[in-house]
Amino acid sequence: MENATPQLGEGSGKRGGEVRLWERGMETELEIAAGREEEAELVRRARAGETGAFETIVERYERRIYRLALQMMGNAADAEDVLQETFLKVHAKLDQFQQQSKLYTWMVRIAVNQALMKLRQRRRNVVSLDEELASDEGPLPREVADWHPNPEQQFEATELGDILERALRALALPYRLVFQLRDIEQLSTEETAETLGISQAAVKSRLLRARLQLRARLSRHFRVQGAAS
């Protein structure tokens, strides 16, 4: 059975201003600055009407935006609509992009707004994003089964994808959105709060709940056989 003790040296998180290497990869400050500079130049050229520059922006981000839209909408047709509306807005509003955030973060905000509008049209009873959800986090599970060291290797890629998608879609929308933006898209807490129009405290609370719920659902598949759930 796998020892459940985490590898603390790898994942102790950001202390002070340190970047979380386990999460962010090994991107250096120099690379980040170069990337920002390149992006600023790309935006400048697109604003100037250079068709090739806008095409580069589309090519760079269309798949990630589509993926986000697909997870939010749950079907390809609506995701395609959201994707097209997002890039129309990006094209129309590029002059308003302040470059205080990354271009992708700004585009995610547009895409999320487009998707939410569509969801609200589709389901009038959709849970409001600023609605106060249960605030009590409750006790942590005390019976925590060991997971396989590499649970992804237990399953075929398609089967693993189904497990992950089902678990994510089972989350209530407010939790799912926060998990998508914070943990998958890697927006900051502040950016997520601004995008969804909720407080940073709500982002943190919902994120923890989302992680715990997902972990519990995945445990059914990833735990070492014979271990408690």
Partner 1 sequence: MRCEECAQALGGYLDGELAAAVVVAFEAHLRVCKPCGGLVASCRKTIEIYRSHNGKCAAAPLPPALHRKLVMPPSERERHPRS
Residues lying near partner 1 in the complex (CB under 8 A) are found at 4-8, 11-16, 18, 20, 22-23, 51, 54-55, 58-59, 62-64, 66-67, 80-81, 83-84, 87-88, 91-92, 137, 139-147, 151-152, 157, 160-161, 164, 168, 179, 183-184, 186, 189, 204-205, 207-208, 211-212, 214-215, 218-219, 222
CB of 125 to partner 1, least distance (A): 27
With respect to partner 1, which residue has the nearer C-beta, 37 or 88? 88
Note the residue count of the chain.
Answer: 229
Could you give the C-alpha distances from 94 to 18, 48, 116, in angstroms and in order? 32, 10, 21
With respect to partner 1, which residue has the nearer C-beta, 37 or 220? 220
CB of 110 to partner 1, least distance (A): 13
CB of 36 to partner 1, least distance (A): 21
Task: Tell me the helix, strand and coil percentages in the chain, rounded to 5.
Answer: 65, 0, 35
With respect to partner 1, which residue has the nearer C-beta, 119 or 164? 164
CB of 119 to partner 1, least distance (A): 19
d(CA 222, CA 215): 9
